Structures are given as structure tokens and as C-alpha cells.
């Protein structure tokens, strides 16, 4: 009973810290876009991939998107989606790093969870508390959230890198780096095919 109480308190603290950090890091509405993620050198990425815990995907129960509450309010009138769009905005619009498309309207974009929620579920999140899953689904401090074209996000779906990669190979290195960073940050596992695909993408660094 005490252990569950401590876990719940820690999860609540994690959510609070995530919200505070997000609010502190959120750019002003007229700030320039961040642009694409800059990937590391190949050796650093390969080393990070080798630190992943390799395991067969599994879950304690069937996946349900409702178990990852999002989007949450970060600042007054601006939720998680709003913050992601703000930080990627530039005078010319929004760059979709997956395919190089430049959107002029936010309606052309969707917020991608780099590691899909369904993938996270079978990689360890099925054992998390609801509060921790909410923190993951709204993680603005890491590399989990990215505004991309609606069609590239839907093409990706819940696939991992063994099945789907950004259509622009020039972004493979940064995508692999972002994927690995999320899995390590949240202590999520990776299956063997996924690891092989990540090493293959690292060759683009």
C-alpha cells in the first residue's frame, strides 16, 4: 500500500515538473521555428542504440489511446499541441521534417508522438500509472513531440522504424536519434528488428 502511494506521489510530481518545464520552455507566439532536429554523429547514435533494453513487445492488457490523456493545458489558452506548433513556427510557415513539406496553415499539420503511444504501450507503458502515461503523452522537455504533415503522420501510424521511416532519407539520422532518446528517457524497450533498423538509419549520420 505504501509503495503504491509513493509511486502515485512520484508520478504526480513528474506531471507537475513536466508542466512547469514546458511552460518555462514555451516560446513566445512570434518566436521563430526550431526547425529540424540535428542528429548526432554516427558513433554516438550507435552507442545510444546499444544502450536500449532489447525485449519482445508485450502488454499487460489491450492498448487504449484513452489511457494516454492529451493534450493538457500548459499555459492559459495554450495546450501541448499549441506549444509544439509555436516552437516550430517560422516566418515562412511550418516545416514538416519527415517529408520537407512547408505548411502555411496549422490545419495541414498533426502532432506526432515520435514513439507512438501504441508502441510505448507494448514497450513498457502498459505497466505505468495513468499519471505517468499522461506525462509521456505531453512530454515537451524531450524529443517525443513534433509537428509534421498530416499525411506523413497517418502513413506512419503506430509503426516502429523496422516498418516505417520518414520519406525524406536526409532526416533518418535525426529521427533515429529522437526515437532512441525517447526510449531511453522513458525506459522503454526495443525489439531486435527495431534495433537493426535504427542502426541502419544511423548510417545516414
Domain ranges of the chain: 2-202
3-class secondary structure for the chain?
CHHHHHHHHHHHHHHHHHHHHHHHHCCCCCCCCCCCCCCCCHHHHHHHHHCCCECCCCCCCCCCHHHCCCCCEEECCEEHHHHHHHHHEECCEEEECCCCEEECCHHHEEEEECCCHHHHHHCCHHHCCHHHHHHHHCCCCCCCEEEEEHHHHHHHCCCCCCCCCCCCHHHHHHHHHHHHHHHHHCCCCECHHHHHHHHHHHCCC
pLDDT at 38: 56
pLDDT in tens, 138-149: 999 999 999 999
pLDDT in tens, 100-145: 999 999 999 999 999 999 999 999 999 999 999 999 999 999 999 9
pLDDT at 153: 97
Q: Is it the case that residue 31 has pLDDT exceeding 60? A: no
User: Does the pTM of the predicted model rise above 0.95?
Assistant: no
Amino acid at each position: 500500500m505504501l509503495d503504491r502511494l509513493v509511486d502515485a506521489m512520484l508520478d504526480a510530481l513528474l506531471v507537475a515538473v513536466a508542466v512547469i518545464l514546458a511552460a518555462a520552455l514555451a516560446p513566445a507566439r512570434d518566436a521563430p521555428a526550431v526547425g529540424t532536429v540535428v542528429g548526432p554523429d554516427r558513433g554516438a547514435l550507435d552507442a545510444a542504440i546499444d544502450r536500449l533494453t532489447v525485449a519482445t513487445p508485450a502488454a499487460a492488457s489491450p492498448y487504449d489511446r484513452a489511457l494516454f490523456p492529451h493534450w493538457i493545458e500548459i499555459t492559459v489558452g495554450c495546450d501541448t499541441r499549441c506549444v509544439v506548433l509555436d516552437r516550430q513556427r517560422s516566418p515562412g510557415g511550418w516545416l514538416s521534417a519527415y517529408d520537407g513539406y512547408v505548411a502555411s496553415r496549422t490545419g495541414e499539420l498533426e502532432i506526432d508522438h515520435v514513439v507512438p503511444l501504441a508502441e510505448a504501450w507494448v514497450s513498457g507503458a502498459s505497466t505505468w500509472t495513468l499519471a505517468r502515461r499522461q506525462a509521456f503523452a505531453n512530454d515537451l522537455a524531450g524529443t517525443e513531440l513534433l509537428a509534421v504533415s498530416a499525411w506523413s503522420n497517418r502513413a506512419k501510424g503506430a509503426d516502429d522504424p523496422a516498418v516505417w521511416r520518414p520519406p525524406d532519407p536526409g532526416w533518418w539520422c535525426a529521427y533515429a536519434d529522437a526515437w532512441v532518446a525517447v526510449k531511453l528517457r522513458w525506459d522503454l524497450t526495443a525489439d531486435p528488428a527495431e534495433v537493426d533498423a535504427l542502426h541502419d538509419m544511423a548510417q545516414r549520420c
